[in-house]
Amino acid sequence: MSIPLSWFLVLSAALFSIGLFGVLARKNAIAILLGVELMLNAVNINLVAFWRYLDPAQMAGQVFAVIVFAVAAAEVAVGLALIISVYRRRKTVVADEVDLMKW
């Protein structure tokens, strides 16, 4: 239609990269989770774009996106619980400082 599919894909890729950058480069563990969330959302945009432009009649694309949301929510919950547990033990949320499983 009026907006080409490729714009959505580029958006999705850009968001994914920003999210990936955030995961790799942020110090704070919660910021890393934010980055993960961003990646999941970028993936969602990708999914919905392909659904809308290639086969709108099929319901599977929408369902897939809803599942991804649910999983992302659950995963954030678990992740935050882990971070709180680590904080209680190590008194820090800086990812670099949780490095006990090393050589």
The answer to whether residue 57 forms part of the interface with other proteins (CB under 8 A) is no
The answer to whether residue 89 forms part of the interface with other proteins (CB under 8 A) is no
The set of long-range contacts for 32-41, using a CB threshold of 8 Å and a minimum separation of 24, is: 32/95, 33/76, 33/79, 33/80, 33/83, 36/75, 36/76, 36/79, 37/72, 37/76, 39/15, 40/68, 40/71, 40/72, 41/15, 41/72
The answer to whether residue 98 forms part of the interface with other proteins (CB under 8 A) is yes
**Number of residues counted as binding other proteins (CB under 8 A):** 13
Compute the least distance from the CB of residue 62 to other proteins, in Å.
Answer: 26
The phi, psi pair for 102, rounded to 5°, reads -130, -175
The answer to whether residue 103 forms part of the interface with other proteins (CB under 8 A) is yes
Compute the least distance from the CB of residue 84 to other proteins, in Å.
Answer: 17
The answer to whether residue 65 forms part of the interface with other proteins (CB under 8 A) is no
Residues that bind other proteins (CB under 8 A): 20, 23-25, 32, 95-96, 98-103
